[in-house]
Amino acid sequence: MTIAIAPSLLSADFSRLGDAARACEEGGADWIHFDVMDGHFVPNLTVGPIVLAALRKATRVPFDVHLMIEKPLATLDQYLDAGAGRVAVHVEAEPHLLRFAQHARGRGVSPGVAINPGTSLASLDEALHFVDFVLVMTVNPGWGGQAFIPGSLDRIGRLADIIRSVGSKATIAVDGGVGPDNIAPLVRAGARHFVAGSSIFSTGDAREAIRGLRGAAGTPGTLHA
Ligand code: DX5
Ligand code: ZN
């Protein structure tokens, strides 16, 4: 299992999103992360399927869609049609997680479940058997540029233990406050997929920042616990 880096466009210049997507590709990003916010599930309002579809033409990098919206099943197909390669809904927002996962998978899109910092890991219980990944929020969702919540490292370690103990194949993705200074401990704790917004787009050179983050992550097999 290798490391995947997913720059979040939330911290990019919204007047030049096409350029930001191309920079992600040139920097070797594995995914481009889209933060979809509806002004209800979280207070902020961002992009929807029209913007995804437009950017789908700007890059070959697959899209990692994070739905921070109420009633995600009502509009899920719009995001799948717009070119999502994988998609996560929040455990706090969707009571029909199995229906969601079956539907996404049936359309060839990898399903994941996102979880807020204040939600018990126990709420993931059944879902660990039918989603491909868990997107662990390490900030309260809504904005980029927030500080990583310190207890999250321990939380990721506990989730990795649970995943192992129930025999799930789900991988752990981390979203919020990820940068070169904390990515290696996150890898050691069991995370493999990293969303990063401000640590990539606030540097002025997104390509270099993506490469730097990957370098700082190291290789899981060679890291010592
Ligand atoms: C927060 C979003 C994140 C955010 C991460 O609600 O889900 O994807 O863009 O941004 P940074 O890396 O700046 O915390
Ligand atoms: Zn996100």
| Residues whose CB falls within 8 Å of the CB of residue 38, separated by 6 or more in sequence, listed in order | 45, 68, 69, 70
* Rounded Cα–Cα distance for residues 115 and 185 (Å): 20
Nearest CA to ligand 1 atom 4: 144
**Domain boundaries along the sequence of the chain:** 4-217
Average predicted confidence (pLDDT) for the chain: 96
pLDDT at 223 over 50: no
Ligand 1 geometric centre to CA of 219 (Å): 24
Q: Residue 220 pLDDT > 80, yes or no?
A: no
Is residue 205 flagged as an active site residue?
Answer: no
Tell me whether residue 19 is one of the annotated catalytic residues: no
Instruction: Please name which ligand lies nearest the alpha carbon of 202.
Output: 1
Each residue's pLDDT tens digit, 169-211: 999 999 999 999 999 999 999 999 999 999 999 998 999 999 9
* Whole-number Å distance between alpha carbons of 67 and 113: 10
Q: Which CATH class is domain 4-217?
A: alpha beta
- Grade residue 225 by pLDDT with cuts at 50, 70 and 90: very low
For the Cβ of 213 lying below 6 angstroms from any atom of ligand 1, the answer is: no
Kindly name the residue from 30, 38, 132, 175 that is annotated as catalytic. Answer: 175
Asked whether the whole model's pTM tops 0.85, one would answer yes
118-142 mean pLDDT:
98
Determine whether the shortest distance from the Cβ of 142 to ligand 1 is under 6 A: yes
Q: What are phi and psi of 200, to 5 degrees?
A: -100, -45
Determine if ligand 1 sits within 6 Å of the CB of residue 197: yes
Question: In one letter, which amino acid is 157?
Answer: G
Secondary structure E strands in 69-175:
84-90, 110-115, 133-137, 171-175
Q: Give the number of the atom of ligand 1 that is nearest the alpha carbon of residue 114.
A: 7
